[in-house]
Amino acid sequence: MPDAKAVLKTVKPAKKETKKEVKRENKYKLVIVESPAKAKTIGKYLGRGYHVEASNGHIRDLPKSQMGVDVENDFEPKYITIRGRGDVLGKIRKEAKNASGVLLATDPDREGEAISWHLASILGVDPADKCRVTFQEITKKAVKAAITSPRPIDMSLVDAQQARRVLDRLVGYNISPLLWAKVRKGLSAGRVQSVAARIIVDREDEIDAFVPEEYWDISAEAVADGQKLKLRLDTVGGVKAKIKNEAEARSAEAIINGGEYKVASQKRGEKHKNPAPPFTTSSLQQEASRKLRFSTAKTMQIAQTLYEGVDLKEEGTQGLISYMRTDSVRVSDDALDAVRERIRDKYGDAYLPEKAIVYKGRKDAQDAHEAVRPTEISRAPESIKESLTKDQFNLYKLIYLRFLASQMNPALFETMTAEIVSDRIVFRFYSEKKTFAGFTACYEEGSDEEAPVVDNKMPRLEPGIAVTLSEIQSEQHFTAPPPRFTEASLVRALEEKGIGRPSTYAPTISTIIARGYVLREKSRLVPTELGRMVTSMMCQYFKDIVDEKFTSDMESKLDHVEDSEIPWKNVIRGFYGSFSEDLKVAEETIEKIPEVPVVSDVRCENCGAMMVYKNGRFGKFLACPNFPNCRNTKPVLVFIETPCPTCGKRLVEKISRKGGKFFACEGYPECQFAAFDYPVTDRCGECGSPMVLKENRKGQRFHVCMNEKCRHRDLLEDMQDINEAELDATAGEEI
């Protein structure tokens, strides 16, 4: 009879083998995405049979400690695993080993394709295998459809990303050390950022060189058949009225006062106002800046959360918008059908065009993705408001309404133009009246420019009716210089000039602010003295790098690489020859720019020396001249007249880490009062909260309550009504 213990020993291995068999039979497919939020959303959609892991962005990149590009070996990049990603990579390797297959589901653009390629290389996945999945929106339907139709990695997209990365590294890692040596440490130059800084500096030079010219506008209050009119002077003696000074204005007034007036002609017509197309990355950043006062970086950060997925109370985690890095206005047929049905249900057939509107994109648009739109048009903003943060709700509502309006009929206006004449004078009257709201029933596009004032009365002005002038108004004006750029207008300029791509606008602006080349002042971008100095040096020694045409042509070449039209290293070879010559001349020619210290009246309490003023990332500060033996520094405090409304101490003007000016209490951290707008002594008449001074694009000023639940406004200087949307500036940057 066999020993019982021996029998048990022989049974145990069989039990372990059974477990392995079960595990082998239940093997899953590993899906790799970039972010944990995206992994969470997609994991819920796919369920059993799939395991989703996040790479947390790039796993491999060029090293930070060296150039990382072997110039002698035909510009071969030297990729290394990014420091700190060992644990993430170890987990991914372990899961890949246990998985029956690997699917790479990173973002559907050049960067995403490159991340997938690096992951494939590390995990031993053949890029030619069907291992790559992409989707334009993170919805259950889109994700499941993508999973069933994987494709090989697109090496042309990867090569376009490699070309951009190598170009940027060659520029940055060669010029930046030169700036450190010749100007000061911490500076940088870049293929796109240096052009952006130059555009801002050039605009400031235009403003400085601008010579204002005087001109006068003449208008008249008039009455015709009991109807009040506002007329504008059109011609004097048959010549277009261009009145340059007060003497000419008074002369024109004398002629006007001597005439008898009647209606000479009247013309009625109809005007159409068409809706704007759905958002691209650029137009989304511009509109969020105008309407929500978001920085470009903030817009993209919030859009990313909406794209990756938000936990909705009744639906679970849902991706709310399509991919937000795009220069296309194209929309899928399914989305068009859905939005048209929504318009019919909500607004009626009168608001719905016979056919879906097809928008034409820019010539150089890549058109790889759809426009930015809601993933589910039936998911109205108000229905999910409780699940969103305030910023998420505002941005989602903006995207939703823009998309809805883009497929609606035009707004219609009845127009009337009339000429009121005497022997030598012609006045013009213009009026328009909205007769059909069309797309404006839900959305109207914002503008950086001031809208003209238009009379919306439609009086009866038949030819021959006598007109009596009741008051002549002559107003002196001066031509204005071009405005400084806002983030929105700079993005538009970069896009129009073909500089950068949708993914680069926000980081480019953030970089030039972080380097101290540009400051934000009242939402405008102002170059610093450092920015002017570095730009001047770049213009002298690296003309191609800061040349708009050269940079735009380089972007076109990268697009040709993506389209498999030219090898990526050809682009690098064509660039590096002249660049290396420019670099050599700059290294031999540029002399060290000495920093002449400005001595203050503040004595260093550590060593007794008189401290000097220095320029840093956050503005001026005081430093001991005996550095490095004495490292004492002090902030330069600029106080304003208004006391702190919380504790009564002084308020200090400061620069935030994002380059914006703000005002904070000197008693920080005990008192944490802070405001991005200038605080005033007045208190809100409604709730008693502190108020700040604001100014709209028309130059009108007002006090606004800081309490977001109140936002009461007091208009200043005998103002007229102001558009509520222009005053709504509740969204600001974090300090």
Are 681 and 704 in contact by the 8 Å Cβ rule? The answer is: no
Task: Please give the residue that has the higher pLDDT: either 565 or 84.
Answer: 565
Residues of the chain above pLDDT 90, percent: 67
Rounded CA Rg of the chain: 32
pLDDT attached to residue 728: 35
Residues 246-257 have a mean pLDDT of 94
pLDDT attached to residue 47: 85
Residues 84-97 have a mean pLDDT of 91
Residues 629-644 have a mean pLDDT of 87
H or E, element range at 639: strand 638-643
Which neighbouring-strand residues pair with 417?
267, 430
| Buried-state track 324-352, b at ≥16 Cβ within 10 A, e below 16 | bbbbbbbbeeebbebbbebbeeebeeebb
pLDDT winner (highest mean) among 33-47, 193-207, 487-501, 666-680: 193-207
Per-residue pLDDT band for 1 (boundaries 50, 70, 90) equals: very low
- Lowest-confidence segment of 190-199, 283-292, 366-375, 460-469 by average pLDDT: 366-375
Residues 226-250 have a mean pLDDT of 93
Q: Hey, which CATH number is domain 281-406, 3.40.50.720, 2.40.160.20, 1.10.290.10, 3.40.47.10?
A: 1.10.290.10
Question: What's this model's pTM, rounded to 2 decimal places?
Answer: 0.77
Residue 575 clears pLDDT 60, i.e. is over it: yes
Active site residues: 323
pLDDT attached to residue 518: 92
pLDDT in tens, 255-313: 999 889 999 999 999 999 999 999 999 999 999 998 998 989 899 999 999 999 999 98
pLDDT in tens, 680-732: 988 898 888 999 988 765 557 788 999 888 888 888 754 333 333 333 333 33
The CATH classification number of 214-274+411-478 equals 2.70.20.10
The candidate with the shortest Cα–Cα distance to 445, out of 295, 291, 270, is 291
pLDDT attached to residue 338: 95
Per-residue pLDDT band for 607 (boundaries 50, 70, 90) equals: very high
Distances (CA, A) of 93 to 34, 55, 88, 102, 116: 15, 11, 9, 11, 14
Q: Name the residue ranges covered by the structural domains of the chain.
A: 23-153, 185-210+488-579, 214-274+411-478, 281-406, 596-636, 637-735
Residues 109-128 have a mean pLDDT of 95
Q: Hey, which CATH number is domain 185-210+488-579, 3.40.50.261, 1.10.460.10, 1.10.10.10, 3.30.420.280?
A: 1.10.460.10
Residue 185 clears pLDDT 50, i.e. is over it: yes
Which own/partner pairs from 65-73 qualify as long-range (CB within 8 Å, at least 24 positions apart)?
66/173, 67/169, 67/170, 67/173, 67/174, 68/169, 68/173, 69/166, 69/169, 69/170, 71/170, 71/576
The CATH classification number of 23-153 equals 3.40.50.140
> Within 26-85, where are the H helices?
36-46
CA 592 – CA 267 distance, rounded (Å):
69
pLDDT in tens, 646-682: 998 999 888 776 667 789 998 888 899 999 888 998 8
Q: Taking all residues of the chain, what is their mean pLDDT, rounded to a whole number?
A: 87
Pairing status of strand 650-655 against strand 661-665: antiparallel
pLDDT attached to residue 714: 85
CA 328 – CA 309 distance, rounded (Å):
22
Count CB atoms within 10 A of the CB of residue 450.
11
Q: What is the dihedral of CA 603, 605, 606, 610, to 10 degrees?
A: 0
pLDDT attached to residue 718: 40
Task: Please give the residue that has the higher pLDDT: either 38 or 457.
Answer: 38
pLDDT in tens, 128-171: 999 999 999 999 999 999 999 999 999 999 999 999 999 999 99
Residues 612-629 have a mean pLDDT of 81
Residue 61 clears pLDDT 50, i.e. is over it: yes
- One-letter amino acid for residue 192 of the chain: V
Are 161 and 154 in contact by the 8 Å Cβ rule? The answer is: no
The candidate with the shortest Cα–Cα distance to 279, out of 319, 320, 326, is 326
Distance of CA 431 to the CA centre of its chain: 36
Are 246 and 216 in contact by the 8 Å Cβ rule? The answer is: yes
pLDDT in tens, 343-375: 999 999 999 999 999 998 776 565 568 899 999
CA 139 – CA 44 distance, rounded (Å):
10
Are 476 and 442 in contact by the 8 Å Cβ rule? The answer is: no
pLDDT attached to residue 640: 85
Residue 104 has, within 13 A of its CA and on its CB side, a CA count of 31
CA 136 – CA 610 distance, rounded (Å):
61
CA 165 – CA 568 distance, rounded (Å):
11
pLDDT in tens, 398-455: 999 999 999 999 999 999 999 999 989 999 999 999 999 999 999 887 665 555 556 6
Residues 547-570 have a mean pLDDT of 94
Residue 618 clears pLDDT 80, i.e. is over it: no
Given CA atoms 319, 320, 321, 322 in this order, what sign does their dihedral have? Answer: positive
Q: What is the dihedral of CA 527, 533, 535, 540, to 10 degrees?
A: 160
pLDDT in tens, 27-49: 889 999 998 989 999 999 998 89
Q: Tokens at residue 727, please?
A: 């005053």
pLDDT attached to residue 694: 83
Q: Is 566 exposed, middle or buried (0-12, 13-18, 19+ CB in 10 A)?
A: middle
What are residue 231's phi and psi, to 5 degrees? -110, 150
pLDDT attached to residue 365: 60
pLDDT attached to residue 194: 95
